[in-house]
Amino acid sequence: MIKYILFAFTTFTTLTAYADKTHHAGGSPYEPATMVVSSVTPKNGIALSIATSQHHFDFGTHSWQGSIGVGSFDNEHAISFGAAKRLNRVLINVSVGLENGKLGYGAGINRRF
């Protein structure tokens, strides 16, 4: 156990020393390193993703199934309509949704083994 702790400690100190030497701005160890951080939060399509994820269909029935899902994110709103039909051991589902006048659609196939 002691040798694993010693190995982890020496590896950590070696990597820290290496990182300290290679990450300085301008190559001088006395200049502080600079980092630029940007944050972007995309809003388009998130409400539609939430709306389409609300469709849940039953594999236990062979009847047609329908679903309506709604979603909202950061003052963006969407609605989605879904349908499914089981054929033997395969459930096929489709959905279509609308967010701010833009149309999105998807399809899926589920199978039991």
CA dist 31 → 13, 16, 24 (Å): 21, 17, 6
Tokens of 113: 């083994």
Contacts of 15 (CB under 8 A, 6+ apart): none
CA dist 90 → 52, 54, 66 (Å): 20, 20, 17
Which one-letter DSSP state was computed for residue 90?
Answer: E
Angle at 72 between CA 66 and CA 70, to 5 degrees: 10
Measured distance CA(95)–CA(36) in Å, rounded: 40
Contacts of 4 (CB under 8 A, 6+ apart): none
Tens-digit pLDDT string for the chain (113 aa): 566 566 665 665 565 555 555 455 555 555 555 656 556 567 788 999 999 999 999 999 999 999 999 999 988 999 999 999 999 899 999 999 999 999 999 999 999 88
Measured distance CA(113)–CA(110) in Å, rounded: 10
CATH superfamily of 46-111: GSPII I/J protein-like (3.30.1300.30)
